[in-house]
Amino acid sequence: MAPPDTVTLALWATNLSRPLSSLDDWAARVDARLADAKAAGARLLVMPEYACEQWLSFRPDGLPATQEIAWMGERAPDALERLRPLVARHGVGLLAGTMPWAVDGGFANRAWLLLPDGREIAHDKLVLTPAEMDPEGWQLETGSEIPVVDWDGMRLAPLVCLDVEMPAISVALARHSVDLLLVPSQTARLAGYSRVFGCARARAVELLCAVAATGCVGISAVGNANVSGCAVFVPCERALGSTGLHAEIAPTDGADMDDEPFLVARDIPLGVIAKLRAGGAEVWPGAWDAHHITIREVSR
């Protein structure tokens, strides 16, 4: 099945410095953003990695860092329960950022893709940062698979933050004709934002697909700083404007609590991209890997 000619997405760079009073308060804010997305004609709203860190503004006093993941993970099923009716009512898909999710005695950093047809697709982050492997902090478990989801004629796949920086993941996905990658991220500094978004742009070239990335901004209730923005990248083809950038809100540190980037990326040309992927691109070699390549080291 061919993808739609175009699709419009909304990307929300949540400002974690905005305090919350409860999960109901958080759900109300997601509800409002889904309404904004629907009003703009978006089919899908993308939230950032660890958007749930905003919940820590109503954590118990004295909660140690080693228990923050478990505390959020205990609330994650209730949070998901609050999101289900919102997606159904608005008829807009939701990549609900990520949240800790109980797995095998630990917690994974799980992205939930909720679709208006009632499907709920999970992706556990594959590649963890040092902070996510710290037994004195946010220790998490790794995932082992990537879902490729058929919806509305599109083939979607989520990759969480550092996942998108791994070329080997791109090689594995290249055989699956993905139309759109969804990349929720969280980065503390401009350098991290630049790595994630730069690699997201590269994945658009390598996979000949569109890539939508967004991250958190602001300082969270536990003092974690965040710098990010929103962007949709496309392959660097003349038919798509040559530069690889479809839409963007530049990175910010969210120091102004009202600074909460919300990008409506209109008319992403999935139909044109699919035709290029089928044989119309300038130089794209297709699903290429290096299994036949030998590395020859040359000494002095």
Residues 246-282: pLDDT tens digits?
999 999 999 987 889 999 999 999 999 999 999 999 9
Q: Which residues pair with 229 in a beta bridge?
A: none
Q: What is the pLDDT of residue 285?
A: 87
Please give the angle made by the CA atoms of 233, 234 and 238, to the nearest 5 degrees: 135
Quick one: tokens of 9? 């997405």
Residue 156 forms part of a structural domain: yes
Residue 296 forms part of a structural domain: no
Residue 288 forms part of a structural domain: no
Q: What is the pLDDT of residue 174?
A: 92
Q: What is the pLDDT of residue 300?
A: 85
Q: What is the pLDDT of residue 77?
A: 98
The enclosing H or E element of 211 equals: strand 210-215
Q: Answer yes or no: are the C-beta atoms of 72 and 121 closer than 8 Å.
A: no
Q: What is the pLDDT of residue 258?
A: 82
Instruction: Domain of residue 159: give its range.
Output: 7-280
Q: Answer yes or no: are the C-beta atoms of 33 and 241 closer than 8 Å.
A: no
Residues of the chain with pLDDT under 50: none
Residue 274 forms part of a structural domain: yes
Classify burial at 144, counting beta carbons within 10 Å of its beta carbon; exposed 0-12, middle 13-18, buried 19 or more: exposed
Residue 295 forms part of a structural domain: no
Residue 298 forms part of a structural domain: no
Residue 300 forms part of a structural domain: no
Tell me how far apart the alpha carbons of residues 199 and 222 are, in angstroms, rounded to a whole number: 28
Q: What is the pLDDT of residue 257?
A: 79
Q: Answer yes or no: are the C-beta atoms of 164 and 111 closer than 8 Å.
A: no
Q: What is the pLDDT of residue 101?
A: 98
Calculate the alpha carbon distances from 218 to 37, 64, 254, 257 in Å: 22, 21, 4, 7
State the CATH number of the domain containing residue 224: 3.60.110.10
Q: Which residues pair with 102 in a beta bridge?
A: 107
Q: What is the pTM of this model?
A: 0.96
Residue 90 forms part of a structural domain: yes
Q: How many domains does the chain have?
A: 1
